[in-house]
Amino acid sequence: MPTPTTENFLKHGEDHYTLDDFRSSAPRWCDGCGNNAILTAMQKLCRDEALPPENTVFVSGIGCSSRFPHYMNTYGFHGLHGRALPIAEGIKMSRPELNVFVNTGDGDCCSIGTAHWIHAIRYNMDMTVILHDNHVYGLTKMQASPTSPQGLKSNTTPRGTYLQPLNPLTVTLGIANASFVAQAADWIPDNLYDIVSAAYRHKGFSFVRVMQRCPEFVPVMFDPYITDPERILLLNHEQGIPYDPVLGKTYKNQEEHDPSNIDRAREIASLEDKIPVGILFQDKQAARYENIRDTNKPYSPAMIKEALDSEFDKFTVMPAD
């Protein structure tokens, strides 16, 4: 009989993965696109957490960001525009043991998908949601999105956008039962990785907004923050992302922010002159819908067939006698 030490060694060998285990086809994003940094962070996360590819699924809607499932060597579902979240919720309800990730864009999530986004926050199901926010519709060739800054000239707003942009952080923090809200920047890869790792380990709906560069349509959008590190507010806390002395050399503007303080989280999320990066809010006790519904019931093939037949029979046109 193997000793516990031997068992642990064998288990480690079985669960060991490399980055190549999670790489699929070569990404077709533009050179310099921030989506590449997000993809690398997620592949590293899957490797370091030893997530079995056959038990991991990436779900997306429509847009540049939503090509994500094609580049992950896991299960994937490329859904309809704005509909990634209800698909992911259905997966989680029927297969709660799976690791579920959602990749969505600022147009996909914050425009056509807004209703699903709002209710997904409230349901707080255990999944990691990455909002790729480049402030523009990229796949449809530069249309203004809900997060586009006021005055942005695009193919749909040639005179500039008229309205103030929607802030995904303040919206999420304003919804009842929000449980994890964070923000990262694609050009700070170490911090990005730490944030998505913390999001994955959180049990509940983890919402991470990533400020994502688009070199094709808004190439200078984030230049003021990239060239001036003082405009980045690094959030540190023992209950969030611990202080990193390496990052501290570049990003000296930091705050010891307790992520359980939702009032301060909302203030930080509302900052206009700085980009806060880190965990803004976390509530580990928030109720999770899949637990409330108790999805651990055994579903045999016969039970599934009976349920499907019952539904199909409602729409069956029976031949006349």
Q: Give the tens place of pLDDT for each residue, 282-301.
A: 999 999 998 888 656 666 77
CA 29 remoteness from chain centre = 18
Torsion of CA 15, 18, 22, 28, to 10 degrees: 170
- Per-residue pLDDT, averaged over 161-184, amounts to 97
pTM beyond 0.75: the answer is yes
Average pLDDT over residues 99-127: 96
CB 259 within 8 A of CB 279: yes
Could you tell me the pLDDT band of residue 4, with boundaries at 50, 70 and 90? very low
Cβ(138)–Cβ(214) under 8 Å? Answer: yes
As a whole number of angstroms, the distance between CA 255 and CA 235 comes to: 5
Domain ranges of the chain: 17-296
Per-residue pLDDT averaged across 311-319, rounded? 83
Checking if the pLDDT of 92 tops 80, the result is yes
Question: Residue 10: its pLDDT value, please?
Answer: 45
- Among 101, 107, 53, 96, smallest CA distance to 77 is for 101
Residues 17-296: name the CATH superfamily: Thiamin diphosphate (ThDP)-binding fold, Pyr/PP domains (3.40.50.970)
Q: How large is the average pLDDT for residues 271-292? A: 95
Q: Chain-centre distance of CA 287, in angstroms?
A: 20
Per-residue pLDDT band at 22 (split at 50, 70, 90): very high
Task: Please name the residues in contact with 209: beta carbons below 8 A apart, sequence gap of 6 or more.
Answer: 131, 133, 168, 169, 182, 183, 184
Confidence of residue 7 (pLDDT cuts 50, 70, 90): very low
Query: What is the pLDDT of the chain when averaged over all its residues?
Result: 92
Reported as a pLDDT band with limits 50, 70 and 90, residue 312 is confident
